[in-house]
Structure 1
């Protein structure tokens, strides 16, 4: 029986984002197909729930403890290598992670390694968003690493930032404090600000057996260093995410934005303005938003009968949220690496209006399963929403085509059999 060591520096369960559900599905699927699977995660949850697992997983998990000082570019790769050497895997799958990810990759260079890019991690210093000064950035660490450093910290003193980490300075001052400490701690303790980091990233990419990406942009960047690059989509459980009969609430039509909507780059402000334009013309609509603790500063803007705020739910309860909606909108301003919300919505038989950016362009078939609009264009977004609101037959037709596409291209079983079984052969 062949062994696969899955490594993820951010994994927690239930998943708070698409990358961790993606890894869960791949690991579970490979175990079902006869592989011995073990997941290796850090236990370090001061700023972010790294390694926090609240429900049983179908595979073994190895927890490796760290603190804010030991979670660094020396200790993390060393401890992960020690743990993985004991397991003696045939393959290593390196999943999500930020700036420490290339160090771990280099430490595991003796194993056949699949390096998974879930976003723009390690080639973008701005929290992997490629989103500087509120617009899509055309730079990366290989083009101009100095610009990347300025984007992350500007003229802020690195020594002061280190002192804040050590002293836990204002760690709970405001809702985003912990998440910012999370990024800052890893940035500093990975020495991303040194030219050496660019070398580590380059060597780690060159040294792996195979690289898996979501979109053409990342593929083009990393192909310059390693030709063994494959584009593999994420998937959806098409037996769980299914169309359900909708209950009508007095003729109210519901528009859903799902995911981490509090992040500016997700485009909530654009949808908010488009929705308010619609409200000036009609009163038969409701905006549904999935929210978490980071949304609290914005709650007052979304109160009243035309809004519904839904607390963050896990994968088991998410299909019911989708099925309450009539339309799903993904108004992203940044280059979405993939666009799992669009896939989940299509699996539930819903039309999707999405920004024509990043991986979303490869998912939504414009005019067939929904519409693509220019990022940031509130008027265009409003027009497409209104068109679907007033066209029940079009909504149904697009929903059916979306469901068919999700079943044919994004079913997890099909993705694992088509891509991952050969990858681990």
Structure 2
């Protein structure tokens, strides 16, 4: 049996979002096929335990520090010598065949690619967002999809304050982007894995060679999810409460519909959402906060369907695969990689992003046609079993690894 020693690298070693879920799930399926997988991350209090955590570089803490420390921290955001040094120590200990990097920007930084290059280790990298195209990684400016930096015009991030409307933060992100571009930090990477065709297209348009871009969709181990084609009296939103996620659009659409909405998640817009609910006297919405494990499972399984109202270029949301695995259809905005996953009128319904009236119509349509909820849910479950299963993902992943070793 073909067996490899693979080093998996990510800024965080705990499930912080969809990208970390992919990170941990890939580690699991590789271990099931008897590959040796070692993690490398920064230290965080929430991290999962690892016998290799002694090699992890220290946490970067920017809160409540003086100006000098903030300047040092900014330098570490762009290029971390500590991460490089720690990685050298780990490489000497485990001697891997290959590195698979996930999110490394702004924490571990491209210093880890330099370490791999010096050791002549091939690197494969999964593109969970658009950081190579857009310094602030979302391709979003003032809440609207933006492609101004796509021609490597990264100065737009600074002048438009794209990072949280913060001038200093946006300046650092712009400098980081130019630093990596001018010094060709990503050239050592053998292949970039794109979870969606949309991501592949945007990175190709940004100048990354087509032969280095490989689409491998995310996956889900559907056997761990028991579908439920029955439901209670509510629809569900699962995700971050932030502007680009379109939560206010969802609230505007739901306020005159006779159905409950349960919102699972937290984020910077929670207070604004709660204020909107109160000011508009909306009584059919409940914000539950962050949920995991059995609590989240029950919410999924008892829902009518799931709504994804995103207004940014979503890549390949794991929420879609989770909902499908539980046998739930989805109403989603037609943006980014979402239309590749949600088959309109088969596994759910699509609507133009930001159009709360059309979203309202789509919600009412499913509520008035309950047989479609069950039929779409069954088709969605079949889809994840056939197209998004772990074995298919594993074969594609190993194929990329082998190509990397042969280069």
Q: TM-score range by the shorter chain?
A: 0.7 to 0.9
Quick check: 1:123 aligned with 2:133? yes
What corresponds to 1:168 in structure 2? none
Match for residue 92 of structure 1 among 90, 94, 99: 99
**Where in structure 1 are there 5+ consecutive unaligned residues?**
44-49, 162-183
What corresponds to 2:208 in structure 1? 225
What corresponds to 1:259 in structure 2? 239
The one-character-per-residue Cα deviations of 1:342-396 (angstroms, maximum 9, x if unpaired) are: 2211111111111111110100000111111100111111111001001111111
> Counterparts of 2:28 and 2:244 in 1: how far apart (Å)?
31
> Counterparts of 1:67 and 1:291 in 2: how far apart (Å)?
25
What corresponds to 1:236 in structure 2? 220
What corresponds to 1:286 in structure 2? 260
What corresponds to 2:175 in structure 1? 192
1:60 positional shift: 5.2
What corresponds to 1:381 in structure 2? 359
> Counterparts of 1:23 and 1:241 in 2: how far apart (Å)?
19
What corresponds to 2:46 in structure 1? 52
Query: Normalising by the residue count of structure 1, what TM-score does the alignment of the two structures yield?
Result: 0.80
The one-character-per-residue Cα deviations of 1:53-91 (angstroms, maximum 9, x if unpaired) are: 2x557x855422244446341424522432342221100
Relative to 1, partners in 2 of residues 1:306 and 1:382: Cα closer, same or farther, differing over 3 Å?
same
What corresponds to 2:319 in structure 1? 341
Match for residue 78 of structure 1 among 72, 84, 87: 84
The one-character-per-residue Cα deviations of 1:137-186 (angstroms, maximum 9, x if unpaired) are: 123354312213323369x996xx4xxxxxxxxxxxxxxxxxxxxxx39x
What corresponds to 1:6 in structure 2? 8
What corresponds to 1:421 in structure 2? 398
Match for residue 64 of structure 1 among 52, 57, 68: 57
Quick check: 1:306 aligned with 2:284? yes
**Where in structure 2 are there 5+ consecutive unaligned residues?**
62-71, 403-407
Q: Aligned pairs, how many? A: 374
Relative to 1, partners in 2 of residues 1:191 and 1:424: Cα closer, same or farther, differing over 3 Å?
same
Query: Normalising by the residue count of structure 2, what TM-score does the alignment of the two structures yield?
Result: 0.83
> Counterparts of 1:157 and 1:291 in 2: how far apart (Å)?
24
Secondary structure, aligned partner of 1:415:
helix
Pick which of 130-139 and 406-415 moved more.
Answer: 406-415
Task: Check whether the contact 1:256–1:289 (CA below 8 A) recurs between aligned residues.
Answer: yes
Pick which of 116-125 and 296-305 moved more.
Answer: 296-305
What corresponds to 1:169 in structure 2? none
> Counterparts of 1:27 and 1:51 in 2: how far apart (Å)?
21
Relative to 1, partners in 2 of residues 1:194 and 1:125: Cα closer, same or farther, differing over 3 Å?
closer
What corresponds to 1:138 in structure 2? 147
Relative to 1, partners in 2 of residues 1:191 and 1:380: Cα closer, same or farther, differing over 3 Å?
closer
Task: Check whether the contact 1:102–1:122 (CA below 8 A) recurs between aligned residues.
Answer: no
